[in-house]
């Protein structure tokens, strides 16, 4: 079954080029394209794609707000940001909005394909240059913080975080750790509350920052 993709970019020539490249891949299918954020949301709600490749700067509604609405309404749809911006404000805003991947527009096409397959597998993909920005920001915040809550995650919870980041389901984690599904579900809820995030992508980002898992495994 092919991966269904929506292209959201306000440059028609960019969309045309991406469509041409993606449609040469038998595993990819571009089902819609648009040049504005509002239309991206409507198309996503209608077609429920596997992936939306999202630009940030678009008319009517920017990519960050469009991403937030798409992810909240269709959790199964993954958003990959493809942007000319590599400033940490844009990167962190897109990730906070729920994007599962972020690449610069000057990336190689093969890397985009890899990112699509990665996010479809419920993993996070950050281009190396983007990952450096995210990690640098995290290190700076840790260095400037005396908050004891940074150590509030226990060893058992860290194991669950690592398994979640690797795409394991609650049932799989339950079997691997010899715990009941109810117990794992409760611990996952507690982890989300402690990390102040209520998405799998948020837990995965924490796991990457903490070195509990790698960008690829």
CATH of the domain at 44: 3.40.50.2300
Closest CA to 187 of 152, 161, 214: 161
Question: Percentage of the chain with pLDDT > 70?
Answer: 90
> Do 99 and 158 fall within a single domain?
no
> Which pLDDT value is given to residue 149?
46
Q: What is the CATH number of the domain that holds 183?
A: 1.10.10.10
Closest CA to 140 of 92, 84, 172: 92
> Do 80 and 31 fall within a single domain?
yes
Question: Is 152 strand, coil or helix?
Answer: coil
Q: Give me the domain span that covers residue 193.
A: 148-209
Point out the domain boundary residue: 99, 129, 159: 129
- Confidence category of residue 217, pLDDT binned at 50, 70, 90: very low
Number of separate domains in the chain: 2
Question: Is 82 strand, coil or helix?
Answer: strand
The whole-angstrom separation of Cα 74 and Cα 100 is 13
Closest CA to 103 of 63, 137, 74, 142: 63
> Which pLDDT value is given to residue 70?
96
> Which pLDDT value is given to residue 154?
80
In a domain, 191, yes or no: yes
> Do 41 and 125 fall within a single domain?
yes
Instruction: Report residue 179 CA to chain centroid gap.
Output: 28
The whole-angstrom separation of Cα 56 and Cα 85 is 8
In a domain, 140, yes or no: no
In a domain, 96, yes or no: yes
Point out the domain boundary residue: 129, 159, 179: 129
Per the prediction, the chain carries an average pLDDT of 88
Ramachandran angles phi, psi of 179, nearest 5°: -125, 160
pLDDT tops 90 at residue 52 = yes
Instruction: Give the model confidence (pLDDT) of 83-122 as tens digits.
Output: 998 888 889 889 989 999 999 999 999 999 999 999 999 9
User: In sequence order, which residues have a C-beta less than 8 Å from that of residue 148 and are 6 or more positions away?
Assistant: none
DSSP state of 58: -
């Amino acid at each position: 079954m092919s991966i269904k993709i929506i292209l959201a970019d306000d440059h028609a020539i960019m969309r045309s080029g991406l469509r041409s490249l993606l449609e040469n891949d038998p595993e990819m299918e571009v089902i819609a394209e648009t040049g504005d954020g509002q239309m991206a949301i409507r198309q996503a709600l209608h077609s429920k794609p596997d992936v939306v490749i999202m630009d940030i700067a678009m008319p009517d509604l920017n990519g960050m707000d469009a991403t937030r609405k798409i992810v909240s309404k269709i959790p199964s749809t993954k958003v990959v940001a493809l942007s000319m911006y590599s400033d940490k404000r844009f990167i962190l805003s897109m990730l906070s909005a729920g994007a599962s991947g972020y690449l610069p527009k000057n990336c190689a096409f093969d890397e985009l394909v890899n990112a699509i397959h990665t996010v479809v597998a419920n993993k996070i993909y950050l281009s190396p240059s983007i990952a450096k920005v995210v990690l640098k920001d995290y290190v700076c915040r840790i260095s400037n913080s005396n908050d004891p809550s940074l150590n509030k995650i226990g060893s058992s919870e860290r194991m669950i975080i690592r398994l979640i980041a690797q795409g394991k389901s609650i049932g799989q984690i339950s079997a691997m750790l010899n715990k009941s599904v109810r117990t794992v579900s409760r611990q996952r809820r507690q982890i989300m509350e402690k990390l102040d995030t209520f998405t799998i992508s948020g837990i995965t980002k924490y796991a990457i920052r903490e070195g509990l898992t790698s960008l690829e495994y």
